Amino acid sequence: MLSSQYAGNVSRWSEVAGLTNVERETADPQPPVTTAEELEARKARRAERRQKQREANDLRAAKMHDHRMAAERTGLPETPPGKGKVHVGCSGWYYWHWNGRFYPADLPRNQWFPHYRERFRTVELNAPFYSWPTVAAVKTWLRQADDGFVYTVKVCELITHIKRFEGTDELVRDFGYIADLLGAHMGCFLFQLPPSVRYSPETLDSILHQLDPRRRNVVEFRHKSWWDDTVFKKFEAAGAIFCSTSGPRLPDQLVKTADDVYVRFHGTKQWYRHDYSDEELSDWVDRIKASGAKRVWAYFNNDRDANAIKNAETLSRLFKAQKVMR
């Protein structure tokens, strides 16, 4: 049984370009639910689709492994630094409840990403968390990105939630092949751990040992036990980025463990629905400016009521006004 928070995440994922029919059906905007029976039927269909996705992930990972091994014979580059020092965007871009709010009601869905791209120069892709991307899907991302657009990619749950970093060294390297395909359009890899994973020295060492230092790796924890100086120091030694998380019941703290800082805005008291005030965002800008970071990655996951859009635009404006890292 999925927790209510995790089940909510399942219904919120985005990016449909290059996905299979099963994934596209899951991501497609749905009409409002009007009865309890319709709600239960939709939950059942979603659970069935999720199971199919999970069953397919092992096969997709194996195929990407083959691609990576073939590419390694010619040598793999490090993830390039990317253009720009301030990257602000949203966690996903394909949400049915943005239709008529952010996307014009008459705008075809195949034009949604170009519309998003006009307003933001980066996006955090959430769909790969649920379904391991194919090489064809990654090439689709490449085609739809113009010069200077950067993707951050959320790592598949096969690594972080199903296997929980146990025996996943090879899988982490295979997923990292996405960076080689994206090249200059690659931002960060986001590894999100479930709230049930609490701090232990063994778990920390296992995670950091498996991260590829050639990549820009971000780890997001959902349990407060990870906010600890011992953890921060080990992240610094590994060159990994500790994700600063604005979320309910988590420390309200900017953590800098590398040249880059990474912040995810979920909401302060309620997941995904909070509308950040200018004062709240100004406080984050002040912290980031004082941190001495060379680059900042900030993504808004409070997609309900399209708050993510206006909050991301406000944060970008505040960064420019204070000339942060320009």
pLDDT in tens, 19-66: 433 333 334 445 555 688 888 888 888 777 877 888 889 899 999 999
Instruction: Round to whole Å and give the CA distance between 109 and 107.
Output: 6
Which pLDDT score is estimated for 284?
A: 97
Helix (H) / strand (E) element for 220: namely strand 217-220
Does residue 124 carry a pLDDT above 60? yes
Rounded to the nearest 5 percent, the helix, strand and coil shares of the chain are 50, 15, 40
Percentage of the chain beyond pLDDT 70 is 85
The domain defined by 86-321 folds into TIM Barrel (3.20.20)
Instruction: Round to whole Å and give the CA distance between 124 and 186.
Output: 11
Higher pLDDT: 270 or 112? It is 112
CA angle 21, 114, 246 (to 5 degrees): 85
- Check: CB of residue 301 under 8 Å from CB of residue 125: no
Instruction: Round to whole Å and give the CA distance between 116 and 93.
Output: 7
Of the given ranges (23-32, 74-83, 109-118), which has the lowest mean pLDDT?
Answer: 23-32
Instruction: Average the pLDDT over 239-249 and give the result.
Output: 96
Mean per-residue pLDDT over the chain, rounded:
87
**Backbone dihedral region for residue 306 (phi beyond 0: left; psi -120 to 50: alpha; all else: beta):** left
Decide: helix, strand or coil at residue 91: strand
**317: number of Cβ within 10 Å:** 14
- Check: CB of residue 220 under 8 Å from CB of residue 245: yes
pLDDT digits (tens, 9 = 90+) for 263-321: 999 999 889 889 999 999 999 999 999 999 999 999 999 998 899 999 999 999 999 99
Residues 193, 266, 251, 256, CA torsion sign: positive
- Check: CB of residue 285 under 8 Å from CB of residue 298: no
